[in-house]
Amino acid sequence: NAGVMQNPRHLVRRRGQEARLRCSPMKGHSHVYWYRQLPEEGLKFMVYLQKENIIDESGMPKERFSAEFPKEGPSILRIQQVVRGDSAAYFCASSPTSAGRETQYFGPGTRLLVL
């Protein structure tokens, strides 16, 4: 099992551009979570998705950020009109089910730098 895959690993954008971050969960996992880690801080929950459904987006900024997990293909975290404050590491995690509190397995992260 290849584990959770994220790409790109590093992404550089200029202010105002769009950033698209991809996450492929572990095989057999249907639950995806996105976390953001700002410099010198811990990981902060952003959004929890199942296939074609957003379950909890309480950690998502109200504007410019969106996430999806389509029936086919990876989960996408999209940031429109990026600003310098969006520079961070974005981690994706997956779990097999939502029954109880399943262990979440993390990807290597995407480090976004906004110039």
Partner 1 sequence: AQRVTQPEKLLSVFKGAPVELKCNYSYSGSPELFWYVQYSRQRLQLLLRHISRESIKGFTADLNKGETSFHLKKPFAQEEDSAMYYCALNNAGNMLTFGGGTRLMVKP
Task: Give the footprint of partner 1 on this chain (CB under 8 A).
Answer: 3-4, 31, 33, 35, 41-45, 48, 55-56, 58-59, 91, 93, 95, 98, 101-109
Distance CA 32, CA 106 (A): 10
Our CB check for partner 1 shows the closer of 3 and 74 to be 3
Closest separation in Å from C-beta 81 to partner 1: 27
Pairing of strands 19-24, 75-79: antiparallel
Name the minimum Å distance from CB 78 to partner 1.
21
Q: How far is the CB of 114 from partner 1 (least distance, A)?
A: 23
Identify which of residues 93 and 114 has a Cβ nearer to partner 1 in the complex: 93
Please name which of 29, 22, 8 lies closest in space to residue 97, comparing C-alpha atoms.
29
Closest CB to partner 1 among residues 1, 58: 58
28: exposed, middle or buried (Cβ count in 10 Å: 0-12, 13-18, 19+): exposed
- CB 112, CB 45: distance < 8 Å: no
CB of 35: closest distance to partner 1 in angstroms? 7
**Amino acid occupying residue 46:** M
Our CB check for partner 1 shows the closer of 3 and 17 to be: 3
Helix (H) or strand (E) holding 36: strand 31-37
